[in-house]
């Protein structure tokens, strides 16, 4: 806390304001007995004052002490500078909070008169108003504070034009217009101009305003441009601003009239400074009991969403967001309510909001702490998530054996997701019998993910005799439960006749369904089927679009094929540069075929500048899995391309390619045995290799020309 020495003028200003009841005063002795509010009292009280930085003025003899509430995210300006990628939804939320705060001030007959982004604070993700140095009620006490304060860009142009102009509510509206623009852009107004310069003042007086940010929603733009209108009579009332922002923030709810809270001056409800309705209770302060019921219902539904999505593998956070949006509830509202709850299942839910980053960003440490707290009270889902945290090392040191212990606790209670996790553990250990046992238990409990993995074991004969019919039935059950991998595997079964008759059209149906749900391999397979006309009419454009989606999802085969499409102009225009770019991405991720094709492009100067050194390096990387890569290394060593000439190395890599069945490598190796370059001359070996390579070449020629042998 910083001590501040005030002038006599300031002291007189305070005393006048106190005598007229404009600032609440507590004597030092009033703080001799203090008690903590019980949770219910605290909830009711906080709903009334959350959007204002709370101040206490404490008097000890002739000394004044101001105590200010702490805001953990600093000023609005610094918050916007640090958070450049806020969604429009979140920007609308900040704008709405600001309008609610000022709306309540105006309702109470208070005007702030110095609104700018350096005296608006952010606590967690909520707006807090501060710095009431110019607010009208206090100004009415003393004319000593009638000069222009604040930052030029936010000041009512009427005041800039005429210093005798008396600032009013419409002056706050002008400042809000500038602030709404700042929230939309993420930067302060006229940041490249001296904020106190004469050119800026003249520009503002002449109607100059900041440029609208591209893609700003039209409705939002209209709100702030009306607010910063030069003529105060054209500016809207603050309640109109709040209502219109509310329509953007939570679009399908009608806002009732603002209700003034009935705040008594009892000890429990006293607050230093003016009091303000929480932005989330702007339209429902009289419906707190209804809200509690709403949150209780919402948390039960969300708990159910988590449980069900664990069984079918759907993204949990996406479904929670969907639920909140459909019921016009925000993550912050639920999280704030959860903060005051002590029941194990609600502590667990708060952990989930941190684990999945539903509130803000992922906070695994906080999530683990909350899961552990709930698990000690025997909350089964919390025990399962403690296991997940140990398994992945999220918020705690990775410990897979300890994770297994937590999964076993839930499995003993017949929790199918815990049983599935034990199956995963044994599958990785190559203990197929135990993996099969646990997969089967979870599958019998209706776990769609377990049904999928059990089906794979039947298909591959791991831990059980191979049984395609049983595999197909389990894939079908998994698909019926909407497990995306089960749906894709049904497509595979119909395409290849696994456990059922081959049916390309049905394969297309299930691959399409999985592709629509974002299954990247299904998108890739479907692209190949459209390219070749397998079970569907050929459609290169559709093949290209599907392959593009697969690649964008990070599927390496999809990326490789997309690059190939760009190279050959399949479903799109030929674009070798784009092809090289995509091959490079896949190559960086270790995809050997992409490394080989990119090496070819560097060797031939296609889509990139010719670079034998880069080509050599890429052939070297690809040779671990691609036989052509080994052959090319032999060729590069033989001719000294991208590396030093080395005949022995050439023989070594040609031999590696020959061992993997590369017949052109056989021909080249035969030449080296014939000439004795890099290897001792051996005509018999050379003749043997020539014969094998010629037979292969002749057979290929006959097949190509459809010549009967």
| CATH number for the domain that contains residue 202 | 1.10.510.10
The domain boundary residue, chosen from 281, 308, 324: 281
* H-helix or E-strand spanning residue 59: strand 55-60
Q: What is the pLDDT of residue 15?
A: 57
How many Å apart are CA 573 and CA 578, to the nearest integer?
Answer: 10
Tokens of 499: 């456990």
Half-sphere exposure of 280 (CA within 13 A, CB side): 21
pLDDT(24) > 60: no
Residue 518 lies in a domain: no
Residue 558 lies in a domain: no
Give the range among 186-200, 235-249, 568-582, 669-683 with minimum mean pLDDT. 186-200
Q: Using one digit for the tens of pLDDT, what is the confidence trace for 514-537?
A: 999 999 999 999 999 999 999 999
Q: What is the pLDDT of residue 331?
A: 82
Question: 103 or 70: whose pLDDT is higher?
Answer: 103
Closest CA to 419 of 431, 434, 408: 408
Query: What is the average pLDDT across 381-405?
Result: 95
Residue 181 lies in a domain: yes
How many Å apart are CA 579 and CA 585, to the nearest integer?
Answer: 10
CB atoms within 10 A of CB 412: 11
Question: 72 or 51: whose pLDDT is higher?
Answer: 72
Phi, psi of 75 (to 5 degrees): -80, 165
Query: What is the average pLDDT across 191-198?
Result: 70
How many Å apart are CA 563 and CA 579, to the nearest integer?
Answer: 4
| Cβ contact 654:672 at 8 Å | yes
The domain boundary residue, chosen from 254, 281, 308: 281
DSSP assignment, residue 52?
A: B
Q: Compute the radius of gyration of the chain from its Cα atoms.
A: 35
Residue 427 lies in a domain: no
CATH number at residue 674: 1.25.40.10
Give the pLDDT band (50/70/90) at residue 702. low
CA angle 256, 260, 263 (to 5 degrees): 145
CA angle 84, 88, 91 (to 5 degrees): 70
Q: What is the pLDDT of residue 290?
A: 40
Question: 452 or 189: whose pLDDT is higher?
Answer: 452
Q: Using one digit for the tens of pLDDT, what is the confidence trace for 538-562?
A: 999 999 999 999 999 999 999 999 9
The domain boundary residue, chosen from 281, 312, 339: 281
Give the pLDDT band (50/70/90) at residue 69. low
Average pLDDT, the chain: 81
Query: What is the average pLDDT across 71-95?
Result: 88
Give the pLDDT band (50/70/90) at residue 139. very low
Residue 88 lies in a domain: yes
Give the range among 378-387, 533-542, 687-696 with minimum mean pLDDT. 687-696
**Chain centre distance of CA 125:** 17
Q: What is the pLDDT of residue 377?
A: 93
Residue 163 lies in a domain: yes
Q: What is the pLDDT of residue 198?
A: 73
Partners of 465 in beta bridges: none
Q: How many domains does the chain have?
A: 2
Closest CA to 508 of 520, 484, 521, 490: 490
How many Å apart are CA 57 and CA 138, to the nearest integer?
Answer: 15
Q: What is the pLDDT of residue 576?
A: 96
Give the range among 79-83, 542-546, 596-600 with minimum mean pLDDT. 79-83
pLDDT(319) > 90: no
How many Å apart are CA 461 and CA 478, to the nearest integer?
Answer: 19
The answer to pTM > 0.85 is: no
Residue 658 lies in a domain: yes
Closest CA to 191 of 210, 176, 215: 210
Q: What is the pLDDT of residue 522?
A: 97
| Cβ contact 276:129 at 8 Å | yes
Residue 201 lies in a domain: yes
| Best-predicted range by mean pLDDT (1-10, 17-26, 199-208, 687-696) | 199-208
Q: What is the pLDDT of residue 9?
A: 52
Range of the domain at 118: 76-262+269-281
For the CA atoms of 14, 17, 18, 19, the dihedral, rounded to the nearest 10 degrees, stands at: 120
- Quickly list DSSP for 181-242: HHHHHSS-TTTTS-TT-HHHHHHHHTT--PPPPTT--HHHHHHHHHHT-SSGGGSPPHHHHH
CA angle 370, 376, 379 (to 5 degrees): 80
pLDDT(35) > 80: no
């Amino acid at each position: 806390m910083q001590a501040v020495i005030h002038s006599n003028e300031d002291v007189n200003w305070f005393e006048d304001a106190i005598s007229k009841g404009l600032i609440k005063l507590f004597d030092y002795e009033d703080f001799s007995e203090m008690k903590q509010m019980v949770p219910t009292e605290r909830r009711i009280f906080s709903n009334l004052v959350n959007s204002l930085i709370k101040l206490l003025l404490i008097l000890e003899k002739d000394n004044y002490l101001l105590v200010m509430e702490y805001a953990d995210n600093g000023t609005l300006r610094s918050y916007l500078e640090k958070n450049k990628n806020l969604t429009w939804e979140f920007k609308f939320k900040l704008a709405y909070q600001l309008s609610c705060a000022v709306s309540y001030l105006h309702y109470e007959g208070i005007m702030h008169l110095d609104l700018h982004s350096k005296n608006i604070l952010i606590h967690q993700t909520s707006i807090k108003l501060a710095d009431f140095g110019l607010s009208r009620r206090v100004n009415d006490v003393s004319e000593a504070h009638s000069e222009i304060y604040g930052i030029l860009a936010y000041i009512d142009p009427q005041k800039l034009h005429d210093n005798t102009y008396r600032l009013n509510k419409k002056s706050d509206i002008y400042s809000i217009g500038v602030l709404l623009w700042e929230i939309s852009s993420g930067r302060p107004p006229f940041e490249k101009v001296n904020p106190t310069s004469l050119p800026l003042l003249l520009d503002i007086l002449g109607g100059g305003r900041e440029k609208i940010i591209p893609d700003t929603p039209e409705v939002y733009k209209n709100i702030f441009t009306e607010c910063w209108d030069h003529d105060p009579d054209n500016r809207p009332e603050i309640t109109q601003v709040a209502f219109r922002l509310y329509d953007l923030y939570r679009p399908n709810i009608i806002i009732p009239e603002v209700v003034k809270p009935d705040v008594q001056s009892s000890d429990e409800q006293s607050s230093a400074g003016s009091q303000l309705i929480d932005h989330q209770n702007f339209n429902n302060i009289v419906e707190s009991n209804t809200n509690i019921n709403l949150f209780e219902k919402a948390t039960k539904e969300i708990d159910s969403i988590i449980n069900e999505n664990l069984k079918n593998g759907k993204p949990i956070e996406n479904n929670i967001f969907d639920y909140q949006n459909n019921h016009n509830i925000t993550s912050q509202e639920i999280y704030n309510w959860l903060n005051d709850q002590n029941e194990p299942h609600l502590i667990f839910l708060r952990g989930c909001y941190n684990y999945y980053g539903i509130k803000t960003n992922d906070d695994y440490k906080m999530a683990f702490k909350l899961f552990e707290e709930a698990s000690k009270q025997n909350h089964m889902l919390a025990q399962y998530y403690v296991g997940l945290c140990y398994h992945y090392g999220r918020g705690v040191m990775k410990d897979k054996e300890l994770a297994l212990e937590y999964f076993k606790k839930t499995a003993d209670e017949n929790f199918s997701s815990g049983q599935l996790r034990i199956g995963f553990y044994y599958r990785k250990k190559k203990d197929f019998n135990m993996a099969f046992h646990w997969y089967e238990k979870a599958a019998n409990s209706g776990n769609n993910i377990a049904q999928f993995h059990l089906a794979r074991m039947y298909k591959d004969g791991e831990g059980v005799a191979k049984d395609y019919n049983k595999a197909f039935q389990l894939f079908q059950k998994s698909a019926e439960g909407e497990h995306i991998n089960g749906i894709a595997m049904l497509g595979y079964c119909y395409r290849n006749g696994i456990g059922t008759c081959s049916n390309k059209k049905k394969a297309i149906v299930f691959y399409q369904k999985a592709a629509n749900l974002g299954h990247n391999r299904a998108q890739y397979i479907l692209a190949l089927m459209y390219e070749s006309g397998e079970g569907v009419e050929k459609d290169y454009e559709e093949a290209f679009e599907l392959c593009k989606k697969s690649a964008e999802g990070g599927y390496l085969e999809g990326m490789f094929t997309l690059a190939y499409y760009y190279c050959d102009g399949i479903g799109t225009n030929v674009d070798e540069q784009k092809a090289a770019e995509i091959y490079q991405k896949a190559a960086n991720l270790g995809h050997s075929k992409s490394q080989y094709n990119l090496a070819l492009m560097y060797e031939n100067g296609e889509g990139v500048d010719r670079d034998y050194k880069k080509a050599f390096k890429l052939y070297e990387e690809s040779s671990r899995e691609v036989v052509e890569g080994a052959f090319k290394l032999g060729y590069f060593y033989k001719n000294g391309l991208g590396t030093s000439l080395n005949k022995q190395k050439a023989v070594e890599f040609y031999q590696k390619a020959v061992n993997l069945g590369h017949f052109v490598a056989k021909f080249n190796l035969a030449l080296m045995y014939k000439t004795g370059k890099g290897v001792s001359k051996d005509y018999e070996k050379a003749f043997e290799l020539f014969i094998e390579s010629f037979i292969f070449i002749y057979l290929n020629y006959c097949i190509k020309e459809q010549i009967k042998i």
